[in-house]
Amino acid sequence: MDIRIQSLKFNADKKLIEFIEKKLSKLPKFNDQIINAEVVLSLLPEPDNKNVKIMLNIPGNDLLVERNADKFEDATVDCVAVLKDLLVKVKEKKREV
């Protein structure tokens, strides 16, 4: 799976990038048809000012999840948890057909 990480208006440090790649590398266990993942990190002016947007490209679908938190790591963990559930649902629907 190809992972592209983009940080808007700041430079993401190496630790953060490695953390995101590690979390995303676990997703193919739930659906092995993932083509690539696009991650956009941005800062917001609100109290929960760290925003993570993850888009997974799979055949027939694009899954998009966006979360805000105090830390990029927390938002990433939330996004990955939601994506796991979505990937399982997509896989089950394909089995039923």
- pLDDT tens figures, 8-42: 989 999 999 999 999 999 999 998 889 999 999 99
pTM over 0.85: yes
Q: Which domain holds residue 54?
A: 2-96
CATH number of the domain at 80, please.
3.30.160.100
Average pLDDT, rounded, for the chain: 92
Domain count, the chain: 1
- Rounded to whole angstroms, the Cα distance separating 27 from 22 reads 10
Cα–Cα distance for residue pair 2/39, rounded to 1 Å: 11
